[in-house]
Structures are given as C-alpha cells and as structure tokens.
Amino acid sequence: DGGITQSPKYLFRKEGQNVTLSCEQNLNHDAMYWYRQDPGQGLRLIYYSQIVNDFQKGDIAEGYSVSREKKESFPLTVTSAQKNPTAFYLCASTSTPWSFNTEAFFGQGTRLTVV
Amino acid sequence: GQQVMQIPQYQHVQEGEDFTTYCNSSTTLSNIQWYKQRPGGHPVFLIQLVKSGEVKKQKRLTFQFGEAKKNSSLHITATQTTDVGTYFCAGRRGNTGFQKLVFGTGTRLLVSP
C-alpha cells in the first residue's frame, strides 16, 4: 500500500541532545512537509521541500534542520537549539507543489518528549 | 503567526445534536480543504472547495466556502460518536507557483452517547 511512514511513533530525548525523525513516502510525491502540532495551536509548518535537494523554512524553523537527498525521504532533525521540542510531529506530502488543487497525505506522526 | 482561525476551539455535544465549526482567514484563499484527525491519529483529507459560495455535502457533513473566499464552515447534522475528533480547515492563498497549505487552529469535537 502506498503511504507515508514515520518512525519512531514515540521518541524520548534528553535535554541537549539532537534527534532525527524519519519520514519516508512511496507515493512518488514531489513535495514533502513537516508540521508540529501542539494543543490548541493547530498545525504549524516547520520546513517544506518542493523537490529533491531543495527545501525552505516554514513558520517555525528555528531549532530544526532537514535534508532532501532522495525523493522518498525527508528526515527532520530536532536540535538542542529548539527550546520547547516536546510535541507531536507530522510529516505530509502532496503530489505536485505547484498545483493548488492537491490534498495532503499525512504520516502517523511521531510524539517527541524531552525528559 | 496563525492566519487561519477556527471557532470554537472545542465543543461537546450529545449524540444526535448538530455541530458547526467556522474557519476564517485574514486573506483571500484560492481553495479550502477540510481534514479530520481522530484522537491519537493523523489528519485525513475530507474535501476541497474551490469556487466562491460553493457548497458540498458528504452524507451528514455539509461544507461551505464563503462568497469572499475568506471563510468556510463545516456542519454535521445529527452527530454520532464516530464523528469524534479534531476538524481542521486548510487553505492556500494563490493558484500559481508554490503556495503552502496553512492549517487552521482546529476544532475538537466530543460526542457523548
């Protein structure tokens, strides 16, 4: 079945450590996105990538980094510079970034907790 | 900051009652999409509206896009416990070039049997 796979589902991190969240899609989608979800604040865009080897900052990129070396993969690194990293992280993709008529497909999410 | 607001933030209804969530954007949108996120799950696409004043129905769900393309609503008739979840609207502001999808703040619906 085609879809987006995020791993792990739950992740615990000690303060001061970097951690990388995995996102893989087999939908052959060009565009991929990372959102952060906090209670009462909806989904906020962290980074997005329109095409391989290209990515742009979203609304809350500080303390995060990404790479897009392969079309299928868009990993997100939460660095120690992120002040409040505990959240639910969602990866999404759309078939073409330049069409406004495409829906977003989401992964199952990764719940990150800083301990 | 957040450019798409939804109200209410939370609503608790008895099964059989109606429910409506409203989505308001500070700018004109090229389209509006609605997603549903079940508790513990991820957002799943429900529908897209493109035309000014457009109304679409999916069984008990009615979606509207405002005339000015700045607001939208989702109405559920005779709620059921399976309607529990958070409903998000999401919009794009342009129809050329890359336009990121901006999500609303979400409305969490709880339905009691």
User: Would you say A112 and A85 are in contact if contact means Cβ atoms under 8 Å apart?
Assistant: yes
Mean pLDDT (chain A) is 91
Weakly modelled stretches of chain B, pLDDT under 70: 1-2, 94-98
For A108, which residue in chain B has the nearest alpha carbon? B42
pLDDT at A99 (0 to 100):
62
Q: For residue A77, which of A29, A31, A13 has the smallest C-alpha distance?
A: A13
Q: What is the pLDDT of residues A38-90, one digit of tens each?
A: 976 789 999 999 889 999 999 899 999 999 999 999 999 999 888 899 999 99
Q: Which carries the bigger pLDDT value, residue A39 or residue A92?
A: A92
Using a CB–CB cutoff of 8 Å, tell me whether A105 touches chain B: yes
Report chain A residues whose CB lies below 8 A from the CB of B30: 100
- Indicate the residue of A42, A58, A59 with minimum beta-carbon distance to B105: A42
Q: Which of B35, B42, B101 sits opposite A107 (nearest CB)?
A: B42
Question: Which residues are CB-contacts of A12 (< 8 A; sequence separation ≥ 6)?
Answer: A112, A113, A114, A115
Q: Does the beta carbon of A50 lie under 8 angstroms from any beta carbon of chain B?
A: yes
The answer to whether the beta carbons of residues A31 and A74 sit under 8 Å apart is no
Contact B21, B85 (CB under 8 A): no
Main-chain phi, psi angles of B83, to 5 degrees: -80, -5
Residue of B4, B48, B50 with shortest CB distance to A103: B48
